[in-house]
Amino acid sequence: DQQVKQNSPSLSVQEGRISILNCDYTNSMFDYFLWYKKYPAEGPTFLISISSIKDKNEDGRFTVFLNKSAKHLSLHIVPSQPGDSAVYFCAASATNNAGNMLTFGGGTRLMVKP
Amino acid sequence: GAGVSQTPSNKVTEKGKYVELRCDPISGHTALYWYRQSLGQGPEFLIYFQGTGAADDSGLPNDRFFAVRPEGSVSTLKIQRTERGDSAVYLCASSLTRDETQYFGPGTRLLVL
C-alpha cells in the first residue's frame, strides 16, 4: 500500500515554461512534506519543504502548494531551465514518529527542453 | 563543507556472500538513516540511528540485515547471505537532529549475481 504516490512517471516541458509536479498521500498522520531532486548516480538533493500548518512555501523559482483536505501537494518550477531536468521525489514524514523517517513517492522524471 | 559520503560506490557480489556498506555522515549530525532504492522506485526506509543506538529498525526487511553505529558517527550496514533481490542502491542520510532536513549521500549500488 503506497502511502505517497506520484502518478506521472515523466513530464516534458519547454524551457521558460512552468513545470508542475504532483503528489498525493493517504496517511493523515503526515504533517511535513519535502521535495528532493535526483540526478543520475547522485543521492537525492533537498529542494523545498512545507509544514502542514501552511498551504504554500516559496523559494526562488520553486513553490510548493499543499492541499490538506485533498491530501495533495504540488511543486511548481517557473521558469523551467534545462538544468532542472532530473527525477523529482515527493516525501512525507510524521513528526510523532520516533525517527521522523521519510516516506517517498516513486518519482517523476522531468525533462526540460531547450 | 563535506557532505555525506558512502563507500564503496559500487559493489558486485555473489549470492550467499556477506557485504558491508559504509556511511560517513556530515560532521556533528546526530541522526543517521539508511534507505534502499530499487529500480524505478523511490527510496524506502530501513533503519534510523540517534547517536549510537538504533532507535527504529522497523524498515529492515529480515534478520539478514543489520546496521551499527558504534561511535555515533560512521555507520555500517551489513547484509548476510545476500540474495539477488537485495540488488538496489543503498542510500544513507544524516540530519543535525531528527527534526532537521535529511541530507543524502550518493549511495552504494549493490548487485548480487
As a whole-number percent, the residues of chain A with pLDDT over 90 amount to 91
Identify the sign of the CA torsion A90, A87, A108, A111. positive
A15 to chain B, closest Cα gap in Å? 25
- Dump pLDDT digits (tens) for B57-105: 999 999 999 999 999 999 999 999 999 999 999 999 999 988 889 999 9
What is the average pLDDT score of chain B? 95
Q: How far apart are CA A14 and CA A107, in angstroms?
A: 20
Q: Would you list which residues of chain B are within 8 Å, Cβ to Cβ, of chain A? A: 4, 31, 33, 35, 40-45, 48, 50, 55-56, 59, 91, 93, 98-99, 101-107
Q: What is chain B's percent helix, strand, coil content, to nearest 5?
A: 5, 50, 50
Contacts of B107 in chain A (CB under 8 A): 42-43
* Single-letter amino acid, residue B111: L
Which of B34, B50, B102 to substitute to test the interface with A, most A CBs within 10 Å?
B102
Q: How confident is the model at residue A41 (pLDDT cuts 50, 70, 90)?
A: confident
Can you give the pLDDT at residue B19? Answer: 98
- Residue A30 near chain B (CB below 8 Å): no
- pLDDT surpassing 70 at residue B35: yes
CB atoms A95 and B48 under 8 Å: no
pLDDT over 70, % of chain A: 97
DSSP annotation of A15 reads T
- Distance of alpha carbon A23 from alpha carbon A89, whole angstroms: 9
Cβ pair B55:A89 closer than 8 A: no
pLDDT tier at A4 (50, 70, 90 boundaries)?
Answer: very high
Per-residue pLDDT of A88-112, as tens digits, reads 999 999 987 667 899 999 999 999 9
